[in-house]
A and B are shown apart, each in its own frame.
Chain A
Amino acid sequence: GAVVSQHPSRVICKSGTSVKIECRSLDFQATTMFWYRQFPKKSLMLMATSNEGSKATYEQGVEKDKFLINHASLTLSTLTVTSAHPEDSSFYICSATGGSFEEAFFGQGTRLTVV
């Protein structure tokens, strides 16, 4: 299968600061990338869908000004959590699909802790 790399795997930031998470498809061109959030002992919840070169589509209840998504190339999407607060602490996971693949591949996730 294809490889999706997410960085960083773990980050701690102070309340009020911004954090950027990168998601890269290493061996295929990802026409579409997805960002999920997962709280402890819960399932993954889709936050937004991004297609290369266009604005992201956010799910209901997800603030687009708080969670900035950029998908500027076919191999890179970024999620920036702006003015982070403790309630934004969560496990953030990206996935990518494209090329000849029917299935989506996931990054290893980023554990964000806001203190």
Chain B
Amino acid sequence: GESVGLHLPTLSVQEGDNSIINCAYSNSASDYFIWYKQESGKGPQFIIDIRSNMDKRQGQRVTVLLNKTVKHLSLQIAATQPGDSAVYFCAERTYTGNQFYFGTGTSLTVIP
């Protein structure tokens, strides 16, 4: 089966600092990756995505980096704010299907 894992289950950062959340995936055939943010009591919220033909994509305060050589994905959040406190999931999908595989999540806590 697929394996999408996270290097760290928890991460604490000071408000204003940058955050980096990492994710490893095992299927080299995966072609599409998404980062989701899940706040307590809510469903996962789309943050940013990246396709396998790219190695970097930027959004508002967020950047996703994809290293296909080592099958590693990261989410960088600039100037982390208290509202960024949540669990972050990476998800991958292979070209052959519409099924996503999710990591277990990293809990980000922003310290004011």
Partners in one complex: no
Seen from chain A, the residues whose Cβ lies within 8 Å of a Cβ on chain B are: none
